[in-house]
């Protein structure tokens, strides 16, 4: 029989998991810092050339890239720590699903991040830079650009978890596919609110986030229907 942890023990467990995750992210960030000069040309490719307007801006951006890269590299370990903490609250029959979904979560995060960087970022930049005229010259600072790219990339990595979350909730019996179908109109509102929260404050990037999220919600309903099969 599994041991029931007290509130204090849960908090201590959470503290330990957070410390382990932070330390591993720092180690990965230090490793990524050695490859900044290789990563930077790849990141700025959609715009070609950037500027920095303060003496410390370029250095701070290098640190930011190293941190984001370290977080990305450490994400399997971080997800494992999340799984270890969450699994305590699950039944034995549910833990096997959480482990499988933990692995799938990382895969979907990678797919979503690549989708955000390779497709959404170029589309967004081409649209926004299209407002340049003979009288308006875009001069994008490296700090703002990296924040823009990092936000969209991470946001799409998180957004691609939606079908898995819906599938997991159905698999453990918390909801049914018809629950998601009957509340589609509420989901649309929540998706646009979420898109406004995860993306920079402009309508274009919000729509670029919301539309794929709507598609992912419909995919999640399909996944949920496959999971909701009668037990023989």
Walk along the chain (232 residues) and give the pLDDT tens digit of each residue.
Answer: 455 667 677 788 888 889 999 999 999 999 999 998 888 888 887 787 888 888 888 899 999 999 988 988 888 888 778 777 776 666 666 667 667 777 888 888 889 888 888 888 888 888 777 888 888 888 888 888 888 888 888 888 888 888 888 888 887 778 888 888 888 888 899 888 888 877 766 677 778 888 888 999 999 888 888 877 554 4
Task: Name every residue whose Cβ is closer than 8 Å to that of residue 225 and which is 6 or more positions away in sequence.
Answer: 177
In the chain, which ranges are continuous DSSP H helix?
7-33, 36-43, 57-86, 92-115, 121-129, 142-159, 162-171, 177-182, 184-198, 203-227
Q: How far is CA 65 from the centre of its chain?
A: 16
């Amino acid at each position: 029989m599994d041991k029931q942890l007290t509130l204090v023990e849960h908090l201590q467990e959470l503290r330990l998991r957070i410390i382990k995750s932070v330390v591993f992210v720092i180690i990965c960030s230090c490793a990524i810092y050695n490859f900044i000069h290789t990563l930077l040309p790849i990141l700025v490719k959609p715009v070609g050339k950037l500027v920095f307007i303060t003496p410390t801006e370029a250095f701070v951006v290098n640190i930011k890239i190293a941190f984001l890269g370290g977080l990305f590299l450490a994400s399997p370990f971080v997800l494992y720590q999340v799984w270890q903490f969450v699994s305590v609250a699950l039944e034995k029959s549910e833990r096997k699903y959480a482990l499988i979904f933990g692995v799938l979560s990382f895969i979907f995060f990678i797919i979503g991040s690549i989708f955000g960087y390779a497709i959404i970022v170029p589309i967004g930049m081409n649209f926004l830079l299209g407002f340049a005229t003979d009288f308006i010259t875009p001069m994008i600072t490296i700090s703002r650009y990296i924040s823009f790219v990092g936000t969209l990339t991470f946001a799409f990595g998180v957004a691609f978890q939606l079908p898995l979350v819906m599938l997991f909730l159905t698999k453990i019996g918390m909801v049914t596919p018809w629950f998601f179908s009957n509340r589609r109109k509420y989901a649309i509102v929540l998706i646009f609110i979420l898109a406004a929260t995860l993306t920079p404050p402009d309508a274009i990037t919000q729509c670029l986030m919301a539309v794929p999220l709507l598609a992912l919600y419909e995919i999640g309903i399909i996944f949920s229907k496959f999971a909701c099969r009668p037990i023989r």
